[in-house]
Amino acid sequence: MYIVKRILIMLLTIWVIASLTFLIMKFIPGDPFASDADVLPEEVLQNIRAKYNLDEPIAVQYVLYMKDLVTFDLGFSIQSETRSVNSIIADGAPASALLGLQALVIALALGLLLGIVAALNHNKVLDYASMFIAIIGISVPSFILAPLLIKYFAVEWGMLPVASWGTWQHSILPTLALAATPLAVIARFMRSSMLEVTNQNYIKTADAKGLSKTKLVIRHGIRNAILPVISFIGPLFVSLITGTFVIEKIFAIPGIGRYFVDSIFNRDYPVIVGTTIFFSVLLVLTLFIIDISYRYIDPRIKLTSGGE
Amino acid sequence: MLEHLLEVNNLEVSFKTYGGEVQAVRDVSFHVDKGEILAIVGESGSGKSVTVQSIMGLIPTPPGKIKNGEVLLEGQDLLKLSKREMQKVKGSKISMVFQDPMTSLNPTMKVGKQIAESITTHQNIKGPEAKERAIDMIRRVGISNPAERYEQYPHEFSGGMRQRIMIAIALACHPKVLLADEPTTALDVTIQAQVLDLMKNLKDEMDTSIILITHDLGVVAETAERVAVMYGGMIVETAPVNELFNNPKHPYTWGLLESIPDIDAADKKRLVPIEGAPPDLFSPPKGCPFAPRCKYAMDVCVEEMPPAFSIDSGHEAKCWLNDSRSPALKELVSAGRQLS
């Protein structure tokens, strides 16, 4: 019952997002063929507009688009008319997803580790060292970190290849550049969560049982401290796997990140709405999975359909 | 003389804070014998909890520091043990029940596992058998359907039930001493009595000694065999429970006893408080800590710390009034002091 209700709400959410994106795009001044207006005769422009239904009233365009959407047809790109939005996503998503997944794994593994080490050595050298790394990770933007990584690892020391995509060695530097900020955020988050848990009474109870430090930290500390971090992983996961404009541009990765940005400049309506829907479907699905998994991670949470 | 089961001698504990050093426990000595229930009473901040937590090695260091003293369990000084050696003692020979059952259990672990964990840590018992033992402990603390309850999480238990689980955890390895830090303070009065009875019964079954911290003299009268009264980080009076109620020898104890509301009093009296505030433990007075609030304080009380005067066998009080040279109470009253 809960799951059925959730799925209905998810569909509703996606419909609202699709409609809003569609309408907002139409209200942005400009037009996909604005740059061609000087070159092409008026009749040709009319014909092109008619091909994409742009001559119809917005309400009609909306109904036509929604009709296609329910059959999972996101339409054709206006900019490169031989390509469907579906194929753009299918071509770009794997590279972005692989890069994002790698970055997520690294950010989680190192971020959690740094946070835990910092909390266990509260106000000692390791704490300050971890948080120093974390602050650098948060404050150095990826468009600075990425060129720095390229300069040293690829150009100066020649250890790793760049500027193409293929072998896993190619993915190391972009993964690091992409992981830095989420890693730092996770580390700081985990540290404060862990510090809070350490002061809880049940830690004292566990300590009074005579548990070893390791068991105390893993079974009673981390298990509880990680709960708030999990809720944060969902949106992070989606934003990482749907590609990032900056990293993909710098490392010449054939992902979908650039389409998000390019399509807006070109008023490529089908691509804008299509990629946005793709993004929101992923986000809504991930949040759904996280909510379900909470049931198994935190026994206090029960899945109920009402707000009792 | 027989060796006591647990003996605390000259314990001094302090905490470093931004405001200076708090001398939370100052020269505390007491002992517990096998199968005995010792109650430690005193107001908030008198050092009760710090005292028992030092015994368990649960004082966070820093900021806390055990500056002096020894804690002898069957002759072995626990304060001299390494962390690893102390882990073997904690939970097996000495264990502890805390004040707030609502927050003292791990919310993400089945209660049964929390009991079994205590067993597997200290005894060479593996999974299924430890589970068996844990279920048996749940039954022994008076919870029905123990096998089902084993699989449940703390939020599925009421406060009283959780405290029973805490007791099960503490007693799972049949410790020699159980430290109970205000185990009933957070519970309803009816549940309080049940939990106290449970602790008394299990104490007899398992031949455990109990140190019971409380500020409830009703609980003391009902449960304890001997009482230590703490004030300002010191034990000011120790006595067998009847002796303490019938023949108290310290003005602070008098104050505590007077402040108990009397339900049978014919005339409606106001409650009797002890006037004043407890001493500042950043810079404790050099004399008796109670002197500033004491109706009978003499010059010597402010100047010099009273020694422990032996009143009777097992009854000691740290008050100058028990010195043979001190004036009788009557004279102090006629000199202008008021007896309530």
| Residue A259 near residue A88, CB atoms below 8 Å | yes
Beta carbons of A210 and B107 less than 8 Å apart: no
Burial class (CB in 10 A: 0-12, 13-18, 19+), A201: middle
> CA dihedral in degrees (A19, A22, A26, A28; nearest 10)?
100
pTM: predicted TM-score of the whole model, two decimal places: 0.79
A 10 A CB-CB count for A51 gives: 12
Q: What are phi and psi of A263, to 5 degrees?
A: -65, -30
By C-alpha distance, the chain A residue nearest B175 is: A209
Out of A45-49, A136-140, B318-322, least confident range: A45-49
Among B16, B55, B58, B108, the strongest candidate for a mutation testing the A interface, having the largest count of A CBs within 10 A, is: B108
With contacts defined as CB-CB under 8 Å, which chain B residues touch A210? 86-92, 118, 121-122
Residues of chain A with pLDDT > 90, as a percent, come to: 19
List the structure tokens of A257: 């990140």
Domain-wise residue ranges, chain A: 92-266
- Chain B residues with CB-CB distance to A209 below 8 A: 90-91, 95, 117-118, 121, 169
CB contact under 8 A, B103 and A224: no
Average pLDDT over residues A91-105: 88
How far, CA to CA in Å, does A59 sit from each of A47, A56, A64, A72, A268? 20, 8, 9, 20, 19
**Chain A nearest C-alpha distance from B285 (Å):** 32
pLDDT at position A126 is 92
pLDDT, residue B340, reads: 43
> What digits encode the pLDDT tens for the residues B180-211?
998 888 888 888 888 888 888 888 888 899 99
The domain spans of chain B are 241-334
Are the beta carbons of A239 and A85 closer than 8 angstroms? no
Alpha carbon of B300: minimum distance to chain A alpha carbons (Å):
42
The pLDDT-based confidence of B334 (bands split at 50, 70, 90) is low
Average pLDDT for chain A:
84
Contacts of residue B186, Cβ cutoff 8 Å, sequence gap at least 6:
B99, B100, B101, B102, B159, B163
Of A82, A26, A78, whose CA–CA distance to A48 is shortest? Answer: A78
What order do you get walking across the sheet with B20-32 strand by strand?
B20-32, B6-17, B64-73, B76-77
CATH T-level fold of A92-266: MetI-like fold (1.10.3720)
The structure tokens 């593996």 sit at: B126
| A208 contact residues in B (CB cutoff 8 A) | 56, 58, 90-91, 95-96, 98, 170
Per-residue model confidence (pLDDT) at position A306: 45
CB atoms within 10 A of CB A88: 24
Q: Nearest by CB to A202, which of B83, B90, B103?
A: B103
Spatial CB neighbours of A55, under 8 Å, sequence gap ≥ 6: A46, A49
Contact of A151 with chain B, judged by CB distance below 8 Å, is answered with no
CB contact under 8 A, B155 and A212: no
- Token pair for A36: 């061609």
